[in-house]
Structure 1
Amino acid sequence: MPQRLRRHEKRASWHSRRREAIRALRAQGRYGPGLREVLPALVVVAVVVCGIVAGLAVAYRVLGTGALAGGLALLAVITAAVVRHNRPLARRRLGYYTPEEIADLDVDGLALAVSRMLRRDGWRSLARPDAQGQPHVRARDRLGRRLEVAFRPVAEPLPDEETPTRAARSAGSGPQLRLVVHRGTFSRRDVQWARRQGGVQLIDGSRLRRWAHGTPLHRLPEVP
């Protein structure tokens, strides 16, 4: 009887130490998710796999071997595209960035990211420094509309700086749009300045993250 009691105490002590170790690892962010956290995703994956298998089986019975081979080939192409799209380097080249990646970029890197995001949205863009050596992006769409992107924390031009939209409009005809990109927030003064200029769109940190995630430029909400 005493031996059973000691074994029970040892087992209870081991479980207690294990729970404490798991709590410590979770507090440090070093312990993986629990079953309850991953179970919904596992169920979704199982349902998708079962649906694909069932669909291939039906296609094989109805249309024969050719349909099965075509379905498998299509599935392989889709899988390869998804894997390639989710690789960090390939994803960024396609114009998709995570909030952490946007936050870690310097100004030159941000200009390259914005240029890629514009290409993703159907613009032909080029990131090149302006006359003062500041990062600058120019773009044109299929309709011939021109777009310019500047990167600065404050939209109001300095006293010795020419109004950007004025210079852009004198360069040619057609609708013009100028973006001012800032990873922070714009002041009320910046918003009023953009409204006075006309054709100026402010991209603050929140809109920039949504744009980088995949929301097209024309669907971004306006800065209040």
Structure 2
Amino acid sequence: MARPSWTSDPVEEQRRRKRDVVRRLRAQGRYGPRFRDVLPSFTVLAAAVCAAVAGLVVGFRTVGVVVPVVGVLLPALVLTVALRRRRPGARRRRGHYTPQELVELDIQGLALAVARMLRRDQWKVRLLPAPDRPRLCARHPDGRRLDVAFRPVAEPLPDEALPHPRAHREDPDSFLHLVVHRGTFRARDVRWARREGRTVLMDGPALNRWAEGAPLDTLLAGER
């Protein structure tokens, strides 16, 4: 029996709804690229693959089997190295940490992380371990020296071991105290550090920027 003219075909109605949904998603930028948008990239990729294959064939005919073997092994080696460098453990050993990783560290782990970040910035670091209050001594190739303490206040604590006084006699202008705290320093700590002159405070936001790759010299210049 023929369908009345005033009724709509279910298939056609479903297609119309689908077109409306696709139109809305594209207007919102949530549908993804069209084929014509990605066609240039696919063309370039196909041309690159064809050129690589042609180069391997020519190399095989000219030199021998060495060229295709190297052509296959070299990209595989580069890919393997790139993947290994992106692993969290390898990234942290190079002195790069995420803010969440810094939060999860205990005080000893934080000292190790700061030591790695200093080495990343070309400092030679010596870690002075302590059960609850580790300390770092660092020297830059240009002669600057850095004493790093980990505490929530600017002033040294009563039972805190201070740097050896011999370090101050070398060149006082090249010596700097860096106090690291994952939280926020109080206003009185900031005022004390400014009066003291050779103490720089590194709070949580600055520490996160340093851990993500910002050079220490840039951060120190902004704090002083």
Match of 1:170 in 2: 168
Match of 1:54 in 2: 48
Match of 1:191 in 2: 190
Asked whether the equivalents of residues 179 and 203 of structure 1 are also in contact (C-alpha less than 8 Å), the reply is yes
Asked whether the equivalents of residues 185 and 205 of structure 1 are also in contact (C-alpha less than 8 Å), the reply is yes
RMSD: 4.0
Unaligned 5+ runs, structure 1: 1-7, 9-34
Alignment partners' CA distance in 2, 1:94 and 1:37: 39
Per-residue deviation at 1:187? Answer: 1.2
Q: Does 1:144 align with 2:138?
A: no
Asked whether the equivalents of residues 191 and 223 of structure 1 are also in contact (C-alpha less than 8 Å), the reply is no
Q: Does 1:117 align with 2:111?
A: no
Per-residue deviation at 1:128? Answer: 1.7
Matching of residues 95-106 of structure 1 within 5 Å: 95-106=95-106
Asked whether the equivalents of residues 204 and 223 of structure 1 are also in contact (C-alpha less than 8 Å), the reply is no
The normalised TM-score by structure 1 is: 0.65
Unaligned 5+ runs, structure 2: 1-9, 11-28, 60-65
Per-residue deviation at 1:77? Answer: 4.2
Asked whether the equivalents of residues 139 and 146 of structure 1 are also in contact (C-alpha less than 8 Å), the reply is yes
Q: Does 1:205 align with 2:204?
A: yes
Per-residue deviation at 1:143? Answer: 2.0
Per-residue deviation at 1:157? Answer: 2.8
Deviations 1:56-87 (A, max 9, x none): 827966xx639987776654444223211111
Alignment partners' CA distance in 2, 1:127 and 1:73: 41
Match of 1:217 in 2: 216
Alignment size in residue pairs: 185
